[in-house]
Amino acid sequence: MSDTRKIINDGLWTNNPALVQILGLCPLLAVSSTVINALGLGLATTLTLVSSNLVVSLIRNQTRPEIRIPVFVLIIAAVVTAIELSMNAFFHELYLVLGIFIPLIVTNCVIIARAEAFASKNSPGASVLDGLMMGIGFTAVLVVLGGLREVIGQGTLFANAHLMFGELGYNMTITLIEDYRGFLLAILPPGAFMLLGFMIAIKNVIDARRKRAASAVILTAPVGA
């Protein structure tokens, strides 16, 4: 497997930040009550990951190893501040909904983990790709979890889409279940924990099946082939 393919595969599946590394759970569980909230936070996190990975990778040869962690933290904080201010400017309502969790992206362990484990050792191009793929992997889990919680919890999908897509978003809300009474557990944090647990379990089942299928292929391959 080539390096690029490995980076993509790692971020999206094998080493997915939410399903395998289980990093950044605080925003993952707190904000994923609707698809739109999840998407907003996921995109902000992705943008942070890409930018911080790029900068960390660019200065990796100038930073002394003794002080690298504080330097990374400063870079990430600067990036997050910029993203926070621009969200406040362009998506003000969404910014108000996500609230404290935007500045808290600074403390999301996925970002410092990628800076330390990947960007500080690899070229800027590979680091940007890694940041993008980890970000998309994180966003995907966040959005699926948000979708599950929204459907089970209040019977809708894409509620409040206007926060992100403006006027267009008013027509995006889909009511899947009419007269739904709401299932509060899915909206509350315990429901998020349980659903994330189920998602991790499903991923493990898929992996186990694949592994079994792969080993079956090897076993049945003719000798000397």
Partner 1 sequence: MEFKTPTSPHIHSGASVSRVMLLVIAAMIPGIAVYVGYFGWGVVINILLAIVTALACEAGMLIIRKRPVLPFLYDGSALVTAFLLALALPPIAPWWIVVLGAAFAIIIAKQLYGGLGYNPFNPAMAGYVMLLVSFPIEMTRWQAPLVNSETSLSFIDSWNIIFSGIAEKIGDNITDAITMATPLDNLKTELRLDQSVEQIINGNPLFSHLAGLGWEWINIAFLVGGLFLIYKRIISWHIPVAVLATIAVLSGVFYLIDADKFSSPMIHLLSGATMLGAFFIATDPVSATSSNPGRIIYGVGIGIFIYVIRTWGGYPDAVAFSVLLMNMVAPTIDYYVKPRVFGHKK
| Binding interface with partner 1 (CB under 8 A) | 181, 183-185, 188, 194
User: Which of 174, 194 has the CB closer to partner 1?
Assistant: 194
User: Which of 117, 205 has the CB closer to partner 1?
Assistant: 205
- Closest CB 206 distance from partner 1, rounded Å: 16
User: Which of 26, 194 has the CB closer to partner 1?
Assistant: 194
Q: How many CA atoms within 13 Å lie on the side-chain side of 214?
A: 6
How far apart are alpha carbons 77 and 61 in whole angstroms?
21
For tokens 């808290």, name the residue: 104
How far apart are alpha carbons 29 and 200 in whole angstroms?
14
Q: Are 104 and 60 in contact (CB under 8 A)?
A: no
User: Which of 13, 183 has the CB closer to partner 1?
Assistant: 183
- Closest CB 184 distance from partner 1, rounded Å: 4
- Closest CB 35 distance from partner 1, rounded Å: 21
User: Which of 64, 181 has the CB closer to partner 1?
Assistant: 181
Q: Are 54 and 128 in contact (CB under 8 A)?
A: yes
The neighbour count for residue 179, using CB atoms within 10 Å, is 6
Q: Which residues contact 116 (CB under 8 A, 6 or more apart)?
A: 68, 69, 72
User: Which of 13, 180 has the CB closer to partner 1?
Assistant: 180
- Closest CB 48 distance from partner 1, rounded Å: 34
- Closest CB 163 distance from partner 1, rounded Å: 26
Question: Where does residue 147 rank: exposed (0-12), middle (13-18), buried (19+ CB within 10 A)?
Answer: middle
- Closest CB 197 distance from partner 1, rounded Å: 8
Q: Are 37 and 103 in contact (CB under 8 A)?
A: no
